[in-house]
Structure 1
Amino acid sequence: MLDSLEHLTPAQIVAELDKYIIGQQDAKRNVAIALRNRWRRMNADPSIQKEIVPNNILMIGATGVGKTEIARRLAKIADAPFTKVEASKFTEVGYVGRDVESMVRDLVEQSVNMVKTQKKEEVKQRAAEIVEDIILDALIPPVQGRSASPVTMSSDPNVIPENDYELNERTRERFREKIRNGELEDRKIEIRVQQSAMPGMGVMGPGMDEASMMNIQEMISGMMPKKTKKRKVTIAEARKILLEEEASKLIDMDEVKEEAIFKAENAGVIFIDEIDKVASSSKKGSGPDVSREGVQRDLLPIVEGSTVNTKYGVINTDHILFIAAGAFHVAKPSDLIPELQGRFPIRVELQSLTKDDFYQILKFPKNALTKQYEALLASENVSLSFNDEALDEIATMAYEVNAEVENIGARRLQTIMSRLLNDILFDVPDRIGANAKIIVTREMVQEKLANMVKNRDLSEYIL
C-alpha cells in the first residue's frame, strides 16, 4: 500500500512540492524526510518495525505562508488519508476531552472513502455490464424460454410477441448497440433504486459519546429492511445512479475496512492547525489557561500513541504522522506543556513571503491563480494572459497591502486578483464575446487598483 513511495526519494518529493508551493525549502525537506521514513519503516527489520515512531513536525509561521498547503500536498503525493483540524475548536464547551478523538475518526472516514473509490474503479467494467443489462431489461423485457410457435408480426415495430424468443433476442441486441452508441441517452425508463430505511434517525442517551452513538445508529440501520422506490429517469441518469449502486454491491466492505484501517494507521496524516491558540501564555494562573492546558492533555495521548474506537474498528495512532502549525505571535512553542513539545521533535520556521515570492506564486505553480482565471475564461472561448510587468505590479501591491493592513500571506493575492478581474468576468460573454483576447498589463493593474494602498482605512474595508 506504501509501494508508491518506493520510487519517491526525498529530493523527488521536494520537487513535487515545488510544483505547487513557492519557497519554504526547510519545511519541504523535513516533510519529505518524514514521508520517506514511512516507506523505510515498512521495509525495516520486522523485529524493530513497530518501535520506529514518526518524527512529528511543528510548523511555525504566519497565516498564508503555505503550512496547510505543504501538509495537504504531502498527503496527495503519498496517496494517503489526510484530515485537518483546528486545535482551537477543542476549547468549545462540550467538546473538551471528547471531541479530540474525532480527528482520528475523520481520518479513518477519509481512508475508507479512498479505498472504496479505488475498489469501485477496479470493478467499474463489471458493474457497467450489469447496469447495461438492467437498462436493457427496462427497455425490452426478456422473454423467458424458447418458443416453437411461428413469429407473429405486428404493425407497431416496438411491440414484440411475448412468445417469440428469437425476435426478442434480436431486438434486445439492436437496442444494446444503440445504448452503447449513446443513441438513447435522453429516453426515459423506470428503475428501482435503494433508499435509506430511516434517513433522519437520531439516538439520544445520557453520557453517550460520539463513537457509541454512531455504532448504535449503524446497528439499527443495518437491522432495518432495505427499501426501494421507483424513479423515472433518462438512460444517462439511470447509468450514473445504477453504476454507483452496482459497484457498491461488487466490493467487499470487510476488505475495504481492513485495508482502510491499515492505510490510516500507517500512512495517515493529521494536520492540527492553530495549536498556538491552546498554548498557555503563562505557566500559572486560572481561567482560560487552565482550559487550554486541558486541551493539550487531551491531545497528548492521541499524538503519543493510543487506540481510538471508530465505527470501522479500533485504530492505533502510534504511526500516524501529526503535523501541527501555528503563528505563535503571542504564545511561544515553549508555552506548550513539555510532554506535548516532546511529541513534536521537528520544528520548522516558515518565512514570511517577499515581493519576489508573490511574483513566483502568480507565475510558476501548477495551480497558480493566473492559470485558474485563464482556465475560467477559456471555458467561454476568451483568451486571458498576463505580462510579466503586470505580475510584478500585482506582487508589489500584495506585499504593500500586507505590510500596511494585516499580513495574511498569499491569501492577499486572491482578493487583489478578484478586484482586478471582476469587471472582465462580469462582461463575458455579454460585452466581451468569444475569441476575444485580453492581455493584463501593468497600466491596467495600476488603473484598477490605484487606490488600494493609498488609503489605509479604505483598504481595511476593501480587503
Structure 2
Amino acid sequence: MNEEIKDLTPKQTVAELDKYIIGQNKAKRAVAIALRNRMRRLKLPEEIRDEIAPKNILMIGPTGVGKTEIARRLAKLSGAPFLKVEATKYTEVGYVGRDVESMIRDLMAVGYTMVKSEMQEKLREQAEKNTEESLLDLLLPGSNKKKTAATSAQPQNVSQASSGTTIILPSVSSTAPAEEHKVQNENDMSGTREKFRVMLRENKLEDKMVEVTISPSMGAPTFEFFAGGSNMEDIESAMSNISNMLMGGAKSKRKNVSIKEAREIIMAEQLDRMVDHDKVTDEAKQRVEQMGIIFIDEIDKVASRSDRGGGPDVSREGVQRDILPIVEGSKVSTKYGVVDTRHILFIAAGAFSVSKPSDLIPEFQGRFPLRVELEALHAEDFKRILLEPKNALTKQYAELLQTEGVKIEFLDEAIDRMSFLAADVNSKNENIGARRLHTIMEMLLEDISFNASEMGGETVKIDVAYVDERLKDIVQDQDLSRYIL
C-alpha cells in the first residue's frame, strides 16, 4: 500500500486537487472525505473493518466542469488503481456487448500493470547492469570471465574417462607457455571489454548491429473464467493462450537489431525475469480490493425517463440491475484470481440534462448515497483555468512553441477576452464547459503553430486586438460559432 497517503488529511487532499481543478469545492470535499475514510478503515480491527463499506458518490453536473478530472486526480494522488468506463458501453447479461463484470477485470489489469511497474522500477538499477553485461557479451563473445570461469577452470591433475572412471594425471607446471599465452589473451580481452563498456555508456555504439534472442513473455500462465455475457474479445484471447500452452508455448526467435534496440529488448526481458509475478499479483489484488476506484461516466444515459413509454430497454434498466451486485459487493473471476468488490469505491457521473437522478432505479440510487452537484463554469472560472492550474492551457501552449524558439506572452486583457468569449459561446450554444477553451486556443494560435518553424527567436504578445482579430467575427456570427466545438 502507498504509505504516504495515510497521512493525507481531507484539507491536504483538497489543496492538491486545487492545483489542477478550479472551483467545485463541494465535489472536492466529498471525494477527500471518501478517501480519508478508506484510510481510517484500514486502521481498524479486522472484524470491524470488513463491516464498513465505502460511500459511493454520484456527481451531477454539465459536461466539462471537472467530474472526470477530480476522480482521475484523486486516484493519482492516492496511488490507487483507477478505471474510467462509460455506462453506455455495457449491455444486460445475455445480450451482445460487454457485461458489467468486465470493468472489474479491466481494473484488476490496471492494478497488475501498476504494481508490476513499481516493482520493476526498484529493480531497474540491477537490470541496467545486467543489460550492459549482456550487450558486451553480444559484442565480444567469450570475453566475460564470470561466464567462462566454470568451463575454463578445470583441475590440473584429474580427468574423467569416457567410462566415468577418474584417472590421475601428472600435474602440469602453472608457468607453462600455453598457460601464459592463455592468461595474456584473457587480459587483452578484459581490456577490450572495458573499452567497449566505456563506448556503450557514451552511446557511441548505438547503430552497431547485433543478433539477439527474443524470448516469449516470462509471465506465468493465467486462466480466466467467463460469465455468459463476456464478449468475444475476452473469449478469443483466452482460447489463444490455451492454444499456445498446449502447443508448447511461444518459441524464442533470433533477430538482427541495433544496439539501441537490443538494449530495450534485453532490459525488458531482464525486468520481466527479475520481478516476482506471484508477489505482483497478490499486491495488485489487495490494492484493487482495498483501494480501487471505478468512475462510471454517462450514468444518466442509462436512466429510463419516467415519461418514456415502450418496453424494457436493454442498455438502460438492465445495465443498472447488473451493476448493483458489483457495487453491493460480489466476487468476480479474473485471470489474476477472484476479486472481491465490497470495498471498491464507485463514482458515477452524469449531466442529467434530459433525465433526472430520480429516474435511476431506487436500488441503484440507494447504492450511491452521496450526491454532489457541480456548478456550471462562468467567465471568471475560465480566466482562472487559463492561469492558475499547474498544467494551465496557456502554459502548455507556451511550452510547446518554446521548443521551436517561439516565445508566447499572454497579456491579462487577452486572457479576460478569451474567458468572456468562451462563456459567451457556451451560453448561446451547447454548454461544454472548459472544453470550449481548447478549441478557442487552437484557433487563436493556429497561424503561429503553422509558421513556428520559421519564427525561431521571435516573441509574440497576445493582446485583445490579436484575440478579436482571430475570434471576434466567428463568435459574433451565430451560425459559424457552432463550429467552435
TM-score, normalization by structure 2: 0.87
- Name 1:184's counterpart in structure 2: 205
1:444 and 2:473 matched: no
Structure 2 counterpart of 1:329, which letter? S
Deviation at 1:97, TM superposition (A): 8.5
1:110 aligns with 2:110: yes
* Conservation of the 8 A alpha-carbon contact between 2:136 and 2:196: yes
User: Partners of 1:148 and 1:87 in 2: how far apart?
Assistant: 80
Which of 280, 299, 320 is equivalent to 1:256?
280
SS in 2 for 1:173: helix
Aligned twin of 1:242:
266
Residues 1:218 and 2:247 are matched in the alignment: no
State the percentage of identical aligned residues. Answer: 53
Which residue of 2 is the match for residue 38 of structure 1? 38
SS in 2 for 1:248: helix
Residue in structure 1 matched with residue 477 of structure 2 by the alignment:
455
Structure number with bigger Rg: 2
User: Deviation at 1:207?
Assistant: 5.8
Report matched runs for 1:65-144 at 5 Å: 65-91=65-91, 99-142=99-142, 144=148
Query: What SS does structure 2 have at the residue aligned with 1:395?
Result: helix
What is the CA–CA distance in structure 2 between the aligned matches of 1:222 and 1:442, rounded to whole Å? 66
What is the aligned counterpart of 1:294 among 318, 324, 336? Answer: 318
Task: Check the 8 A contact 1:98/1:209 in 2, yes or no.
Answer: yes
Does the C-alpha gap of structure 1 residues 132 and 46 become closer, same or farther in structure 2, counting only changes over 3 Å? same
In the superposition, relative to structure 1, how do residues 206 and 262 fare at CA in structure 2: closer, same or farther (>3 Å)? closer
> Does residue 259 of structure 2 align to residue 230 of structure 1?
no
Please say if residues 93 and 99 of structure 2, whose CA atoms lie closer than 8 Å, have aligned partners that are also in contact: no
Please give the alpha-carbon distance, in whole angstroms, between the structure 1 residues aligned to 2:471 and 2:93: 44
Q: Distance in 1 between matches of 2:271 and 2:250?
A: 17
How many Å separate the matches in 2 of 1:291 and 1:170? 70
Residue 458 of structure 1 aligns with an amino acid whose one-letter code is L
Aligned-pair CA distance for 1:141: 0.8
State the distance in 2 between where 1:95 and 1:79 align.
35
Amino acid at match of 1:460: R
Give yes or no for contact 2:330–2:342 (8 Å, CA) kept in 1. Answer: yes
Which residue of the other structure, out of 401, 408, 413, is the alignment partner of 1:384?
408
Counterpart selection for 2:344 from 300, 320, 324: 320
Name whichever of 206-215 and 237-246 sits farther off: 206-215
**CA deviations over 1:312-346 (Å, ceiling 9, x no partner):** 11001000000000111121111111111111000
Partner of 2:432: helix, strand, or coil? coil
Q: For 1:121, give the aligned amino acid.
A: E
The partner residue of 1:339 within 360, 363, 379 is 363
Change (3 A) 1:208 1:304: closer
2:330 and 2:405 map into 1 onto residues whose CA distance is 55
- Once residues 229 and 431 of structure 2 are traced to their aligned partners in structure 1, the CA distance between those partners, rounded to angstroms, is 43
Structure 2 distance, partners of 1:316, 1:40, is 20
> Cα distance, 1:91 vs. partner?
4.1
In structure 2, distance between residues paired with 1:164 and 1:402: 78
Report how far residue 232 of structure 1 moved.
2.2
Pairwise CA distance, 1:289: 4.3
Q: Secondary structure of the equivalent of 1:164?
A: helix
In structure 1, distance between residues paired with 2:245 and 2:20: 44
Offset of 1:426 from its aligned partner? 0.2
Aligned residues: 447
**Of 330, 347, 355, which residue of structure 1 is paired with 2:379?**
355
Deviation at 1:267, TM superposition (A): 0.8
Comparing 128-137 with 12-21, greater Cα deviation is found at 128-137
The match for 2:178 among 138, 149, 167 is 149
Contact 1:267 1:320 in 2 (8 A): yes
Gap regions ≥5 residues in structure 2: 154-175, 219-223
Q: Report Cα offsets for 1:80-136 as digits up to 9, x if no partner.
A: 111111111224897578511111111111100100100110111111111111110
RMSD: 2.5
Q: How far apart are 1:239 and its partner, in Å?
A: 1.1
Structure 2 equivalent of residue 155 of structure 1: none
Q: Distance in 2 between matches of 1:148 and 1:368?
A: 74
Q: Is the 8 A contact 1:2 1:39 kept in 2?
A: no
Please tell me whether the aligned partners of residues 404 and 453 of structure 1 are also in contact (alpha carbons under 8 angstroms): no
Residue 427 (structure 2) aligns with: 403
Please give the per-residue CA displacement for 1:118-175, whole angstroms capped at 9, x wherever unaligned.
01101111111111111101111115427952788xxxxxxxx999322222221222
| 1:279-307: CA deviation from partner (whole Å, max 9, x where unpaired) | 11128853354651111101110111111
SS of 1:391's equivalent in the other structure is helix
Is the alpha carbon distance of 1:92 and 1:118 closer, same or farther for their aligned partners in structure 2, counting shifts above 3 Å? Answer: same
CA distance in 2, matches of 1:216, 1:319: 31
Alignment of 1:304-319 (within 5 A): 304-319=328-343
Hey, what's the Cα distance between the residues in 2 that align with 1:266 and 1:81? 10
How much has 1:10 moved relative to structure 2? 0.4
Following superposition, the deviation at residue 209 of structure 1 comes to 3.4
Pair 1:130–1:148, CA change in 2 (3 A):
farther
Partner of 1:84, secondary structure, is strand
Quick one: distance in 1 between partners of 2:411 and 2:308?
Answer: 56
Work out whether residues 81 and 264 of structure 1, in 8 Å CA contact, stay in contact via their aligned partners in 2: yes
* Greater mean deviation of Cα atoms: 356-365 or 121-130: 121-130
8 Å CA contact retained: 1:97, 1:298: no
- What is the CA–CA distance in structure 1 between the aligned matches of 2:312 and 2:408, rounded to whole Å? 51
TM-score by length of 1: 0.91
SS in 2 for 1:100: coil
Q: Unpaired segments of 5 or more residues in structure 1?
A: 153-160, 198-202
| Secondary structure class of the residue paired with 1:59 | strand
SS of 2:212 mapped into structure 1: strand
Three-state SS of the structure 2 residue aligned to 1:323 is strand
- Asked whether the 8 Å contact 1:24–1:350 carries over to 2, the reply is yes
Please show how residues 172-211 of structure 1 align to structure 2 within 5 Å: 172-195=193-216, 209-210=230-231
Summarize the alignment of residues 1-80 of structure 1 with structure 2, pairs less than 5 Å apart: 1-80=1-80
